[in-house]
Every structure is written in structure tokens, then in C-alpha cells.
Amino acid sequence: MGKNHFLGKVVLITGASSGIGKACAFEFARRGAKVVLGARNTEELAAIVDLISKDGGVAVACHLDVANQESCQNFVEFALSSYGSIDILINNAGISMRAIFEDLDLNVIRKLMDVNFWGTVYCTKYALPHLLQSKGSIVGVSSIAGFMGLPGRTGYSSSKFAMNGFLETLRVETLKQGLHVMVVAPGFTASNVRLNALNQDGQKQGETPREEAKMMSSEEVALRIANGIERKKRTLVMTLVGKVTVFLSKIAPALLDKLAFNEMAKEPNSPLKR
């Protein structure tokens, strides 16, 4: 890929204190971008900014709670006051859940929608005028759960379907304005998202039901996101399983239902009734 494509570009990353967001911070800084990092964990953000700076990169960070509209507006204004423009917005902040809907406290779905969907809407709303001016890129870090209903993840799938629909509509609305919109589906990634996933009562499950060692690394996801932006990809489904899933959702949805149920039912302590 072009070595200097991101040189001097201003890249905003939400959920930048861990996982894919953190990896994106290092990846874009390494490619010469000015990165603006947002998350609730300001101590971790400060440590990341320090590491990037020591490596010769350019980075700033501020507190961001994507579920709060004013916080998202402040994040965008902080980026503008720091660097004067915005070229790329990566909507990465997100949380997951694991419980069947029958047992689920409805506040869990509300929380996931607030973070995964509304967080994307809020940040995009305030960044959009500046991204249209720069003919920049908006990225939504979604999931295969945004292309098919993932059993045991009603709130997660709902929020990612909503994110996908929002971004795809925005892409069409701005078709003549030079905006690039990319929806990313990493598949299962080794990150904190499963450790912080909520159970039926809204408590963190604190353990992952899947084998992290066999998953794609956050660094690999970040690399592919950067390359996808450079190529102006529309949709980036990163795994073979993901590509097969999206294909089957279109041609054999009933078969996919059965396959998805059986796969998720195999997880340790699965909430699904076999």
C-alpha cells in the first residue's frame, strides 16, 4: 500500500484504550497520521499517547463516553482544536452481551444500543461536516452479528444491524459528496470485548467462552482497516467464516439459522437450550 497515504491525516478513534481501537491508534500513527484517541479510561489513553510519542508519532487523547451525546460533541471539538480538521472517523467503541432474550433484562439492550448504535450516530453527526469538507472516511467496526442474527446476542446483533443500516444509508445520502463509508466485520477477535460482555442481568461476564488463541489479533484487524480505507472499500468482512456467513444469509438463510444455533450452543455454559 502507498507509504504516505495517511501522512498528516487526522484520524479519530473511539474505544481507543484497548483491543482494536488501541491497535488502530498505533497502526495509523505508524503510518504518519495524527491520531485523536477517545475512551473512558484516560489513564490507558495517556499511556498509549506516550508510547506513540516516544516512537515519533503524533497523538492526543481525551475522555469520551460515546453513550453521552455531549461527550461525543466535545471529542470532535477537541480534535478540531488540536489539529484543525478531520479526515477519518473510526467508530470502534462497543460492548457485547451473552444471554437469551427470554432471560434478558431489557436495560442490557438499551445499554448496547446507547454505546454501539447511538455512539456511532453521535460521533458521526458532529464529525460529518468536517469529513464532507475533507472528503474523508467514516468507518464502523461492526460484526458478522450485524449481517445475521447471532443467537444469545440479541442486543449485540440488534445494535450492529442498526449501525450497518445507519452507515449504509449515510453512504447513499452522500453519494455525490465524496465521502467514503466502510463497514467492517472482523469476526471473533482477541480483545477485551468478551471479557466485558454483559450477562442477562447486565453484569460483566468476566470470562470468554471462546478460545482467544485461535482468533484474529487486534493488530491484524487494525492493519486491514487501514488498508481498507486506503482502497476505499465499502464492506470489509475479514474472515472466511464471515464471508461464508454473509453469502449463506442471502442464499440459504434457513440453513444458516441451524448452523449458527449449533455453533453457539457448543460454547461452554451456552445459554441456548439444545
Is the CB of residue 119 less than 8 Å from the CB of residue 67? yes
**CA distances (Å), 24 to each of 29, 97, 189, 221, 222, in order?**
8, 23, 14, 8, 5
Select which of 83, 122, 126, 156 is catalytic.
156
Class of residue 54 by CB neighbours under 10 A (exposed 0-12, middle 13-18, buried 19+): exposed
Is the CB of residue 144 less than 8 Å from the CB of residue 237? yes
Q: Any idea which residue has 449449533 for its cell? A: 262
Reduced to 3 states, what is the DSSP secondary structure of residue 52?
helix
Is the CB of residue 185 less than 8 Å from the CB of residue 142? yes
Closest CA relative to residue 7, chosen from 46, 48, 58: 58
Reduced to 3 states, what is the DSSP secondary structure of residue 200?
coil
- 122 an active-site residue? no
Strand bridging mode 10-14 / 189-190: unpaired
The catalytic residues are: 156
